Amino acid sequence: MENQSITELAKSLRAKHVSSVELAQIYLQRIKQHPELNCYISVTEEFALQQALAADVMLAKGEGSLLTGIPIAHKDIFCTEGVKTSCGSKMLDNFIAPYNATVVEKLNRAGAVMLGKLNMDEFAMGSSNETSYYGPVKNPWALAAVPGGSSGGSAAAVSARLAVCATGTDTGGSIRQPASHCGITGLKPTYGRVSRYGMIAYASSLDQGGPMTRSAEDAAVLLQAMAGYDDKDSTSVDQPVPDYSAGLNQSLQGVSIGLPKEFFGEGLDAGVAATLQAAVAEYQKLGATVKEVSIPNLKLAIPAYYVIAPAECSANLSRFDGVRFGYRCQNPEDLLDLYTRSRGEAFGKEVKRRILMGTYALSAGYYDAYYIKAQKIRRLISDDFKQALAEVDVLMGPVAPTTAFAAGEMIDDPIAMYLSDIYTIAVNLAGLPAMSVPAGFSGGKPVGLQIIGNYFAEQQLLNIAHQYQQITDWHQHIPKGFE
């Protein structure tokens, strides 16, 4: 049962082969059996069974959606009413959200069953899920390796069948990179496609929520429920949401694929490169054409991102001051002591580093030299993508330079950690949609193929991924010990 897709489970539920309550119990039991992954911060067993019972009532009436009764879990960055929302931080270890994020509310209305909240890098700052206050998440394919970050808990849970699907967020690759490292499908939608209301902000102009699933078909179902305009979110785009599932059977005959030459140069692991070349060859068999294109300013993406994102994070995280909610230090001497000790004691090393970087970049005398210049580079990168996507339908390349690296390997080398996002960050700067699709293995670890599309081309991306998954079975592989 735990290996069925969302569509298959929906059919099983409607045919009464299993009830929503029984399905929830299967997954709750699996979560208890695999604490070694550390992918859940909170397991909401009682709430899940209540939702499952309500789902069974809906299904008995012939009502509900494809997601009714489907066990799902949320990255612990989405506010969930009455349930702890920690962002993987000591700062919010005691924060019980008083309302639901729009994404959570939409999925609740669709009848999904929330199993719990998933571990993540603290305030979504990290590429390895090692910065969480609750300890690192393990990769189900290799427990000594990282699952990727910041949505590592989401990727590990879906990969190990501890949830049918999960929500994630992507600021610089935080859906795609862990999806690649854990062998699942992850989609970062166009900026503004999914509401950010109730999704605790890291970098407001970059953050975007999206689905993390086993297949493109499942991603289409989950995105259908998540996407859409929200008047509570000023960055939400008022544009109709297509029927993503209905667009999954389009021929790829004549579809043009661009391979950015900057994606396949120095620094890309040979095993990863060979796996991706084999995937591109499969697309050619499906009738797609391939040509080389260029993103000439790609090399500037990381320095630009690590000015813009920390600048926005320093502003967004200023609200966590020990006064209104979250952690408060003991016996402060005065207001300044309350601020400094509360923040000093509750924020982790990486969060402090980024706050300091951002505050410096925004300070008088440096704003023009750093922040404004980074925004100009951002426009150059966006223009590069615009030009490349005028030549081809989609771009393809690696998600990360290597497969999942060993836990502890980069935690003390932030520059090396930042460089691991070289192929994903530029997409966020441009606001484009992109996804990671399982494309094979190198050294026994999963490799993801990144597919990048034009604005609001999620339907096209999902179809392209789905067609590949019809002729390959990489997305169906299960980590040993989690069958």
pLDDT at position 49 is 98
- Tell me how far apart the alpha carbons of residues 44 and 52 are, in angstroms, rounded to a whole number: 12
- pLDDT score at 282: 98
Number of domains the chain contains: 1
Domain-located, residue 404: no
Domain membership of residue 160 (yes or no) is yes
pLDDT (0 to 100) of residue 419:
86
Q: Per the domain annotation, does 57 fall within a domain? A: yes
Tokens found for residue 103: 């994404």
At 268 the pLDDT is 95
Q: Catalytic pick from 150, 195, 245, 442?
A: 150
Q: Is 204 assigned a catalytic role?
A: no
319: helix, strand or coil: helix
Tens-binned pLDDT, residue by residue, of the chain (483 aa): 788 999 999 999 999 999 999 999 999 999 999 999 999 999 999 999 999 999 999 999 999 999 999 999 999 999 999 999 999 999 999 999 999 999 999 999 999 999 999 999 999 999 999 999 999 999 999 999 999 999 999 999 999 999 999 999 999 999 999 999 999 999 999 999 999 999 999 999 999 999 999 999 999 999 999 999 999 999 999 999 999 999 999 999 999 999 999 999 889 999 999 999 999 999 999 999 999 999 999 999 999 999 999 999 999 999 999 999 999 999 999 999 999 999 999 999 999 999 999 999 999 888 888 999 999 999 999 999 999 999 999 999 999 999 999 999 998 888 889 888 999 999 999 999 999 999 999 999 999 999 999 999 999 999 999 999 999 999 999 999 998
Rg (CA), the chain: 21
Counts for the chain of helices (H) and strands (E), in that order: 15, 11
Q: Does 75 participate in catalysis according to the annotation? A: yes
CATH code at 124? 3.90.1300.10
In a domain? residue 455: no
Question: Would you say residue 393 lies in a domain?
Answer: no
In the annotation, is 151 catalytic? no
Give the list of residues 6+ apart from residue 288 with CB closer than 8 angstroms, or none. 252, 253, 254, 255, 256, 257
Residue-number span of the structural domain to which 191 is assigned: 6-253
Amino acid in position 292: E
pLDDT at 483: 87
Pairing, β 113-118 against β 40-43: antiparallel
CA pair distance 260, 294, nearest whole angstrom: 5
Biggest CA pair distance of the chain: 70
Residue 132 lies in a domain: yes
Q: Return d(Cα 440, Cα 274) in angstroms, integer.
A: 10
Domain assignment present for 233: yes
In this structure, is the dihedral angle defined by the CA atoms of residues 479, 480, 482 and 483, taken in order, positive or negative? Answer: positive
Has residue 236 been placed in a domain? yes
